[in-house]
Chain A
Amino acid sequence: MVETRESGSHPADPLAGASGLLRLFAAFAKIGSTSFGGGIAGWMMHDFVEKRRWISEADLLTGLALAQAFPGMNVVNLSIWIGWRLRRGPGVIAAVAGLTAPSFLLVIALYELFQKTAGLPAAHLAIAGVGAAAIGLSLDMAIRATRRAATDLFSGGMIVAVFVAVFVFRLPVVTVVAVAAPIGVAVAYLRTEADRP
């Protein structure tokens, strides 16, 4: 069943105190300013789950599922989720600011740079290669999410149906979520036991 533990993934809190908040900001800023080609959720999986062990894989994937089903940029929502789990309100601000502020400045700087040096074919190729490798980060994430979510026939069928709707039929994500989410949640509701005290 889905884990709903609120804490416990970080026994000796590595993020205590004001310096912890700064470390949180720095970790998100690092991802925000080096994740060329995208795949940011994959970066977070690698950095926060594998390397730093700040949050569990299950926690991160739950956050990602909610992030996608609700309005907002997935990775910004995911940062809110992780920031809250680690340091509540201040953690949210540190996480979102870390992810967006440096990359905001960088994208503008890159734009101005490209305006002046337009048409460097080698740079263009290199960037395309980085983009392809970055999709690998997302694919790794996709495999983890699928492995964890495909618990039975219904869930497996849902994964395939969503995949086919979006990739094969190219239906808008909003439409797919609007149809699939109520069905998925309703079925899950009927299958879960009543409230635990």
Chain B
Amino acid sequence: MTDRPLLQLALVLLPLSLVSVGGGQAVLADIQRQVVGLHGWISEAEFVDLFALSRLAPGPGSLIVSLIGWKVAGWSGALVATLALFGPSSLLFYGLTRWRSARAGHRWVRALEAGLAPISAGLVTATCFVLLSSAQGGVLAWIVALAATMALMSRRVGPYLLLVAGALVFLAFA
């Protein structure tokens, strides 16, 4: 395989990395548009499958790009795609972390953190609700998620147990 698809893959994902404010889902639609529509590397149905798998597999959900790269060009494709999406934003955030670390206590830093905290809280909460409203299992998904939340807040149950319990509840009742 020539390195043309690798280059194209990188050119698609590198710019998206720098506009992925809010996380990978922010650029997912554009990734889909480009890899399915524009370049035709994978089909619409395959994209949906890869999306589902990357959400359920451990690790960052954005590893869907690794799978896309894998389908396009094997190991080298998976590596290039992952580095292209994760690299630029990571360098930027590393710079921000260093910048912030050198200026702890400054007015702008305090304002940045105080100003962003409520937005973050709203985003995390909304994301949970968005996921739950489209989750497989309907009401059962809500019940399992809320029960897991309460169990966690009691501080007596760890995440592993909860994931196993969630699987068992679905197998028994769904």
Interface residues of A, Cβ cutoff 8 Å to B: 1-2, 4-6, 31-43, 46, 50, 61-62, 64-77, 80-81, 84, 92, 96, 99-100, 102-104, 106-108, 110-111, 114, 122, 125-143, 145-146, 148-150, 155-156, 158-163, 165-167, 170, 172-174, 176-178, 180-181, 184-189, 191-196
Closest Cβ of chain A to B137, distance in Å, is 5
In the complex the two chains form, is A135's CB within 8 Å of B145's CB?
yes
* Chain B residue contacts of A38, Cβ below 8 A: 55-56, 61
In the complex the two chains form, is B20's CB within 8 Å of A192's CB?
no
What 10 pairs across the A-B complex have the smallest Cβ distances?
A: A103-B59, A136-B148, A162-B122, A133-B166, A129-B170, A72-B89, A173-B22, A185-B115, A188-B115, A65-B120
Q: How large is the interface on B (under 10, 10 to 19, 20 to 34, 35 or more residues)?
A: 35 or more
In the complex the two chains form, is B89's CB within 8 Å of A70's CB?
yes
Closest Cβ of chain A to B116, distance in Å, is 4
Closest Cβ of chain A to B119, distance in Å, is 5
In the complex the two chains form, is B22's CB within 8 Å of A158's CB?
no
Which of A62, A96, A100, A191 is the one whose CB lies under 8 Å from B113? Answer: A62
In the complex the two chains form, is A149's CB within 8 Å of B93's CB?
no
Given known pairs A142-B125, A145-B117, the reply for A193 and B107 (CB within 8 Å) is: yes
Given known pairs A103-B58, A185-B111, the reply for A149 and B22 (CB within 8 Å) is: no
Q: Which residue of chain B has its CB nearest to the CB of A127?
A: B56
* Chain B residue contacts of A46, Cβ below 8 A: 152, 158-159
Given contacts A72-B20, A81-B97, 19 further A-B contacts (CB under 8 A): A6-B104, A65-B119, A68-B21, A74-B23, A77-B89, A80-B90, A96-B90, A100-B60, A106-B58, A108-B66, A129-B174, A131-B56, A139-B128, A145-B117, A146-B122, A162-B121, A176-B119, A184-B116, A191-B114
16 A-B residue pairs with Cβ-Cβ distance under 8 Å, sorted by A, are A6-B104, A65-B120, A66-B113, A70-B21, A71-B93, A72-B17, A99-B60, A103-B58, A131-B141, A133-B162, A136-B166, A137-B162, A141-B124, A146-B121, A178-B21, A189-B107
